[in-house]
Amino acid sequence: MGSNDDIAIIQAAYAAFGRGDIEAILAACADDVDWAADTQSDAAPWYGVRVGKQAVGQFFEDVGKTIEITDFTPLTFAANDDGDVFSIVRWAWTARETGKTASMTLHHWWKVAGGKIVFFRGAEDTPTTLAALA
- Render 58-121 in DSSP notation, one character per residue: HHHHHHHHHEEEEEEEEEEEEE-TTSEEEEEEEEEEEETTT--EEEEEEEEEEEEETTEEEEEE
**pLDDT value at 2 more than 90:** no
Please, how many CA atoms are within 13 Å of residue 115, restricted to the half-sphere of its CB? 1
Q: Which domain holds residue 74?
A: 3-133
Q: How many domains does the chain have?
A: 1
| CATH assignment at residue 29 | 3.10.450.50
**pLDDT value at 134 more than 90:** yes
Q: What is the pLDDT of residues 7-22, one digit of tens each?
A: 999 999 999 999 999 9
Please, how many CA atoms are within 13 Å of residue 98, restricted to the half-sphere of its CB? 14
**pLDDT value at 1 more than 80:** no
Residue 37: how many CB atoms within 10 A of its CB?
22
Task: Quickly state the pLDDT bin for 35 (edges 50, 70, 90).
Answer: very high
pLDDT of residue 40: 80
pLDDT of residue 43: 86
Q: What is the pLDDT of residues 63-102, one digit of tens each?
A: 999 999 999 999 999 999 999 999 999 999 999 999 999 9
CB 41 within 8 A of CB 134: no
CB 117 within 8 A of CB 132: no
**pLDDT value at 54 more than 70:** yes
pLDDT of residue 39: 81
